[in-house]
Every structure is written in structure tokens, then in C-alpha cells.
Structure 1
Amino acid sequence: MADGERPGRPPGPRGHWLTGNTTEYDADRIGFLRRCHREYGDVFSFDERTVFVADPDLAHEVLARTNHSFVTELAPFGNRPDVDRAAEEAEAWMSARRTVWPGLNRAAAGAADRRTVELFDTVTDATAGREVDVLTVMRDFTAHAVADYCFGADAAGIPALLAENLDVTAPFTATSFQFPAWFPLPRHRRFFRVHRRTVETLTGIVRRRRAASGPPDRDLLALLLAVDPPLSDHTVTATLRGILMGGHGIPAAALVSVVRELALRPRLLADLRAEPGDGDAPPTARLPLAEAVVREVLRLYPPVWLMTRTAHADATVGGWSLRPGDEALLNPYLIQRDPRWWSRPDEFDPGRWAAGCPVPGRAYLPFGAGPRVCLGSTLALRQLTLATSRLAQRFTVESPNATTAAPRFLGRLAPAGLRARFVPRT
């Protein structure tokens, strides 16, 4: 091979002749990826259609080319026709994003502070100092918060539907091998049944609200319905569904990691209590320490620890070739713990986010980047910051297994099986 010439596919482990790398990967996902990163570099092959990327500049390059050379992660059972359809719908989706942005920006997110705190208090007060599964509690909070933000008084039933959506997608994250959609598995039938009911439910709310008379509601759906020219019911429903799904499981997973860190660090809990607020009302000023805790949790334990982009056309990543339908899996977890970009990368240190401290922004990707950066990132960061502050203000956090609840690298990254008691302060 001539100097400077590179093969079409990046190097990677050969794996088993029949199962490839699936068995080893599923047994220890992050251990497998760390080893491959050390042995093969920042871009390596998993199989003939999948490459992993652990370099911030290359990750940004792929994210910036989304909607053109790449499309976002496909639903379960995605295939080549779905790639084509995703590319065709990208322009409509970007138009919807621009429409909904005023309802998710900093001012709109801040206007929901009081309601966020009310919902958080309701959910945590219901634990009454009992030992609980933290993920269940935080999913309950985030489901109610995002449903209320999107639908206001019409949110009844949505949190339960969101929980069911998480349940039906969980089996697809437990293994990297998937049967085709036509295979008659119970989990396939349940997935399609819940998906259909979700779309029908959201569409029904949209149509009832559109037909209603009276003063407009103050929620995200109202903003979408006020657009001129009007958006189709399909576009409104699809936009709301994306926001609901992203605003439920992802922040809930982040809050589980927050609870674990607070249980392990009583001193940090005390420092958060000392941060100025506004009595029992939502704080009117920023909460720099609580926000720093959230940002550091998102660095060490990004709930979206892998981001998938599918090549829509022939593309390259770092000089390596991808064909249409190939997947590039970007790894924020490895990037955000790489000593090339971060000092003391495995150490939990909210102080690195203090004002004036330099942070390698391109190596920080908890919400993605590029044209498909997380639409609700501002809202999520605000809700996480308020919940962190409120938890510290009102409770002492006790956990019997905080030291042993290791991160679980399946769907959304969170400490597995974390249990805790939120003991009210007297």
C-alpha cells in the first residue's frame, strides 16, 4: 500500500466467525469499547456496517453533516427504505424545530420554573422517607414535567403512556442483535401496539385542541397550533412525540446519577443547601453550583452515551469510507473521559464548570451538536438544575447501595438499581 493510502474500512476486532463481536460487546459494552479504542484508535469497525467514533472533531463533523450525508438514529427495525424516508422528512422536521424553538428557549423554560418545582415536590413527597428505586421516582417526575409542559391541562394519561413506551423499547437495548420486524416475537407485537396507541392518543389531543374554542392555552401544543401557515396534524404530533420521548427517559437517567453523587457526597449536599434561592419559591437567579453539578454529571455519565447517525449517501469519517446504510456510533462517554481533552477525566469535580475555568467545549456532547442538537437541551438543563437544588434544599439523601450501583450501559446510562431514601429536613 502506498504511503498515505488508507483502506476503505477502519480496523477493528474480527470477533467470532458466526456472531461477530455481539457476544463480547453485550457482556461488557464499555470495557469492549475502551479496549478497541486503545487498540484501533479513534475510529474502529464493529462489523461490516458499523463504526465507532471517539474523537470530538470527527464526532462534530458527523453531527454537522446530519440531514445531508447522515440521518438521525432510526426507529427499531430501521432499514434502507427508512433511511430514504428519514432524509426526505429532514427538511420538514427542521422547519418544525424552528417553529417550536420559541417554546423551548431559555425564557420559556424559565417561565415553567414554578410548575417544575411543584411537580418535583409532589413526586418526592410521595416517597415519605421510604426506600425507593430512584429511577422509577425520577421517571415519574420527568414524565409529568414534560407532559405538563407540552399539554398543560390535557396531560392526563400521558405519563403512563410514556412509561409504557420506555418498557417496550427496553428489550431492544439489551442486545445488539435484532430480529427482523416480521419475526413473530411478543416484544415486536407489543412495540407496534404501543407505538400505534401513542400516535393515536397524541393525534386525538391535537385534533380536539384544534377544534376547541376559547382563549388559547399556555403550553407547547398551543404554540404549535398558532403557527401560520398551520402545521399538519402529523407534523405537530411527530414533533410533540419526539420532545416527550427525549424529555422523559434522558433527564430521568441524569437525575439518578445526580442522586448517587449527592448520596456519596454529604459535603456537596450541604454546599447546595447554602446556595441562595428565594425561600420556598423557585429561585429567580441562576444556581451556579447546582448547574455545575448537573453539567459534571452529564460529562461523567451522559445518559445518551452513544449517538447513532446513519449514512444516507457515500460518506467518509476520518478518511474511512461509509456506504449508504452504514452506521456511525459517536461515543460521548469516551470523549468526555479522554485525558487528551480533560484533566483528571474520571474525577467528579463540579469546580471545573466555575466561571472563568476553560472547558473543552468540542469534547462535551451530552446534548449532541449540529443541526439536530437536542431541541429541549435548555429546558432539560433548567429542569435538572432546579431538581438538584430542590432535592438538596428539602431532603437528606441516604442510599444503601450508592457505592455499588454501577452505571448500566444499555439504553440510557444510569446507575443500575440505585435505591435511596429522601429524608425530609426538619
Structure 2
Amino acid sequence: MAHREKRSWPPGPRGHWLKGNTRAYEADRIGFLRRCHRDYGDVFSYNKHTLFVIDPALTHEALIRTGEAFVTELAPFDTQQDFDLATAHAASWMSDRRAAWPGLNRTAAAATDDLTVAILDTVIADGAGRDVDVLSTMRTLTARMISEYCFGADSAGVPDLLHETVRATRPLAESSHEFPAWLPLPRTRRFFDTSRRLAETLTGKVQMRRAAKPDSHRNDLLGFLLAAEPAPPVNTVASTLHSILMGGHGVPAAALTSLVWELARRPALVADLRSEANGPTDGGTPLAEAVVRETLRLYPPVWLMTRTASRTTTLGDWSLSPGDDVLLNPYLIHRDPRWWPRPDEFDPTRWLNGRPAPGPTYLPFGAGPRVCLGSALTMRQLTLTTSRLASLFTIESPNATSVSLEFIDRLAPTHLKARFLPTG
């Protein structure tokens, strides 16, 4: 698409004459961004059509204006950049979100505590007492949690498809190069095959439930969506469930991996969480919630968000043309000493006693009209899981001090191993 000459464009590294900044960025993504932030400020260019934003106010502006001047990141291989269609899809999704929200709010999330505990106990028991790959274990856990939340007893096959989708998408996230969909690369075929099978499976489950007798509609999210008046189209329900399943799988799994990483290195904190869990039940779990919030601050799973200008517009002092990408970085915002005292220190007490985040600087679930639909459910599941792990297990890790964070797709410590030793 042709781009008009910009009135202004932020400074940034020139990079290689042919490859630009791709090689430097892929060699050390967060290191590259830190250096650019230091050298060029809160807004800097990556190339002539892509800029990074590490300013909280401008980040909020871009998120709030999603659907009006910006669209979310286009799907892999969606190179046509039909922004009218993308904007129409965004408007339709906002309507679908409003319909689904009562099935995902705090009250609905709290009603599934027993389900969360049962799945957690089963998954951890499968590997208790031996070293396990934490991210794989947590993906198994969250895939089952969100699948059963959505489909109840009809969830068979969905967790495995979620795992396959993650594996098929990862090679695309690892590379900054885009290849055309017609190129017969194995990773391209695998991505389209997995996407097709997941879509067909979800559509089939929706159709089967709708065709069943009314009294067979179960107390799960699918049942809630099908009970709406007027009855939504099958493809709308399937699409809504697809978005919730993907968000409710990868983000919580990455967050739980980072939580286990911290707990394995902080036995005193585990002891405090255990005391809280074994204390009066009416006191809630404020420490467990604070631990979750602090983990999401230091290790936001969605560490990088993309918005694409859908029309000629501005963001702060910068002019944008249709197709220009704006990359928003919660990770660096969450660790900026201008907004956070001792920004690189893990300190859950900063969240106790109802302390709020300093201004618009806390973005683990995004912000604006497209803030994560499942944020209440995710916070509930993460807090309950943290409390239960600390109360029932001693967590040991043979490599917690040597692993590092992986800045590719969902942010999490890479190759973390741990064993969960029952305390009873």
C-alpha cells in the first residue's frame, strides 16, 4: 500500500543497509529495545513504517482508539490490509464481547473455583515429586481449565488442539520475516491445518449443543452464550469461544510459569502464602493476589502489543499512514523507574492495602475497549492456583537461578524445571 510522506517520524537506529534492524532485534529483542529507549526516548522508529512506544499515555491512547483509528495485529498471512473489513470485524467483536462478558465476570469466575482446584490437583499430581518442564505443565493446566470452562463435559479434544495451535504459531512468532501464504513451507501448511481443525472442532461442538434438547444445555460458557436472546449465529459463538480459548490458554500458562519461578526462589514467601491459605477463610487471599499482580508487572505475558493504523491519523506528535505499525511495550513501562520505585525488584507489598498502580502504567491485560475479556477469570485462576500451590507443595527447581526470560511470543522463563513436593 502506498504511504504518504510523513510530516514527522521519530528517530531510531538506521540498521543494516539491506536487513535494517532485523538482525540486531532478533539477536536480543529486549536488549535492542532498551538501547533504543535509552538513545531515542519513549517513541522511536524501527523502520519507516514501524515505531515503538514506551510512553504510558500514548500507549493508552493507542489502545483506547483501537477500532477507531487502529486495529489489532493482523492474523498471520493476512497481507491484504483491508482496513475497512478489519474495522468492521472490530466493531462486531465489541458486540460479541458485551454478550459474553456476564459469562466471564467476577461472579461467573468465582463459581468455577472447585473446577479450577480439581484440575490443578490432577495436573500437579501427575508430575508431583519429579522434575517437570514448568511451561509445558502450566499449558496443560490452563488448556484444561479454559476448555472445561467453555465446554464442560464436552471439552474432549480441545486442550490438545490448543497445544497444537501454540506449536504451529510459534515458528511464525520467532521470525520477523513474513512469507506469502502460497509458499509451501511446512510451517505454513501446519499453521493452516491446525487453524482449520480447531475452527471445525469448535463449530461442531456449538452445532451439536444447539441441536441438543434444551435441558441438556450445561452450566458452562457455551451454554450461557447459546441461551442469549436472540439466538446468536453458530459462527459468532464459535468465533467468540476461539478468542477466549486462545487468550485463556497462553497468557495464564506463561504467568504461572513466572509465578513458579519466583516461588521456587522464595521459600519465605511460600511460607507466608501457606499461612494465609491456612488462616481464616473469610479473610480472602490478599497476599496471593499481590504476588500475582507483582508477577504480572515484572513478567507481563503479553510483553509486546501491536496496533496498526487503519487510516491517516496521529499519535502524539507523530503522523501515521494506513498500515503503519505501532508496537507497545508493557514490559519496559512496568520497569520504568519514573513510574515504579525499585522497578526491577520483586515486591508484592507494593500491591497490599489496595494500593493502585501509578497512573496508566500497569498493562498486563491491555487497556481501553479491548482490554482482555477474560481478565477477571484469569486473575481468579492465577490467585487461587498460587495460593493452593504454596499451601500444598514445597517447590524446588534445579535451574531457577540459571534460566532466563524468552522475549518471543508469551513472556516466560525458558526451560524452567521444577518439582512439586507434597507437604502433607
1:71 aligns with 2:71: yes
Q: How far off is 1:225 after superposition?
A: 0.7
Aligned 8 A contact 1:80 1:325 in 2: no
Say which SS state the counterpart of residue 271 (structure 1) adopts: helix
- Aligned-pair distance for 1:23? 0.6
Match of 1:376 among 374, 377, 381: 374
Counterpart of 2:3? none
Match in the other structure for 2:332: 334
1:406 to 385, 404, 416: 404
CA–CA distance in structure 1, aligned partners of residues 210 and 7 of structure 2: 56
CA spacing shift, 1:152–1:284, aligned 2, 3 Å? farther
Matched, 1:307 2:305: yes
Moved more, 242-251 or 230-239: 230-239
Query: 1:92: how far off?
Result: 1.3
The structural deviation recorded for 1:198 is 0.6
Q: Which amino acid aligns with 1:39?
A: D
The 8 Å contact of residues 71 and 87 in structure 2, kept in 1 or not, is answered as yes
Residue 22 (structure 1) aligned with residue 26 (structure 2): no
* Equivalent pair of 1:277/1:284 in contact (CA under 8 Å): no
Moved more, 136-145 or 69-78: 69-78
| Deviation digits for residues 137-158 of structure 1 (CA, Å, limit 9, x no counterpart) | 0000000000000000110111
- More moved, 77-86 vs 374-383: 77-86
- Are 2:278 and 2:391, in contact at CA under 8 Å, matched by a contact in 1? no
1:345 aligns with 2:343: yes
- Would the aligned equivalents of 2:300 and 2:330 in 1 still touch at CA under 8 Å? yes
On the 8 A contact 2:277/2:391 being kept in 1, the answer is no
Q: Conserved in 2, the CA contact under 8 Å of 1:104 and 1:376?
A: yes
Counterpart of 2:228, as a letter, is V
Offset at residue 318 of structure 1 (A) = 1.7
| Contact persistence 1:277–1:285 (CA under 8 A) | no
What's the CA shift for 1:128?
2.6
Contact 2:277 2:387 in 1 (8 A): no
Q: What amino acid is aligned across from residue 301 of structure 2 in structure 1? A: P
Any gaps of 5 or more consecutive residues in structure 2? Answer: 1-5
Instruction: Compute the RMSD of aligned alpha carbons.
Output: 1.4
Aligned equivalents of 1:277, 1:307: Cα separation in 2: 39
Amino acid at match of 1:89: H
Letter of the 1:189 partner, please give it.
R
Partners in 2 of 1:112 and 1:361 — Cα distance?
32
Q: Is the 8 A contact 2:150 2:222 kept in 1?
A: yes
Distance between the aligned counterparts of 2:385 and 2:277, measured in 1? 15
1:79 CA drift (Å): 2.4
Q: Aligned residue for 2:209?
A: 209
Q: Which residue of 1 aligns with 2:270?
A: 269
Residues 200 and 68 (structure 1), Cα distance of their counterparts in 2 relative to 1, 3 Å cut: same
Q: What is the CA-CA distance between 1:183 and the residue it aligns to?
A: 1.8
Write the deviation string for residues 217-243 of structure 1: whole angstroms up to 9, x where unpaired: 101111111111121111111100000
Partner residue in 1 for 2:44: 44
- Aligned partner of 1:184 in structure 2 is 184
Which amino acid is 1:299 matched to?
Answer: R
CA distance in 1, matches of 2:298, 2:381: 19
Paired with 2:373 and 2:25, the residues of 1 have a C-alpha distance of 31
SS in 2 for 1:329: strand
What are the Cα deviations for residues 279-333 of structure 1, in whole angstroms up to 9, with x where unaligned?
A: 9xxx665310000000000000000000111111112122111111111110000
TM-score, normalised to structure 2, is: 0.96
Identity %: 62
Task: Give 1:175 shift.
Answer: 1.7
Who is 1:35 aligned against?
35
Q: Which amino acid aligns with 1:265?
A: R
**Conserved in 2, the CA contact under 8 Å of 1:10 and 1:320?**
yes
CA shift at 1:9, angstroms?
1.2
Counterpart CA distance in 1 for 2:111 and 2:262 is 28
Q: Does 1:233 align with 2:234?
A: yes
| Structure-1 residue corresponding to 2:391 | 393
Give deviations 1:333-359, integer Å, cap 9, x for gaps: 000000110000000000000115353
Looking at structure 2, the residues matched to 29 and 349 of structure 1 have their Cα atoms a distance apart, in angstroms, of: 26
Between the aligned partners of 1:175 and 1:26, the Cα distance in structure 2 is: 8
Distance 1:106 1:333, change over 3 A: same
SS in 2 for 1:417: coil
Aligned length: 418
CA-to-partner distance for each residue in 1:37-66, whole Å, 9 max, x for gaps?
111111111112211100100000000100
Change (3 A) 1:161 1:125: same
Note the 1:131-150 alignment, pairs <5 A: 131-150=131-150
Distance 2:227 2:400 in 1: 47
Map of 1:197 onto structure 2? 197
Instruction: Read off the aligned partner of 1:172 and give its amino acid letter.
Output: L
Seen in structure 2, the aligned counterparts of structure 1 residues 97 and 278 have a Cα distance that, compared at 3 Å, is: farther
Partner residue in 1 for 2:224: 223
Higher mean C-alpha deviation, range 126-135 or range 176-185: 176-185
What do the CA deviations read for 1:83-117 (whole angstroms, capped 9, x no partner)? Answer: 33221112211111000000000000000111101
1:320 paired residue among 318, 333, 336:
318
Equivalent residues of 1:74, 1:83 under 8 A apart: no
From the superposition, tell whether residues 206 and 403 of structure 1 become closer, same or farther in structure 2 (CA, over 3 Å). Answer: same
Q: 1:12–1:406: structure 2 CA closer, same or farther, 3 Å change rule?
A: same
Kindly state the Cα deviation for residue 81 of structure 1 after the two structures are TM-superposed: 3.5
**Helix, strand or coil: the match of 1:16?**
coil
Determine the structure 2 residue equivalent to 1:10.
Answer: 10
Alignment of 1:248 with 2:257, yes or no, is no
Distance 1:284 1:304 in 2: 33
Does 350-359 or 225-234 show the bigger shift?
350-359
Aligned residue number for residue 3 of structure 1:
none
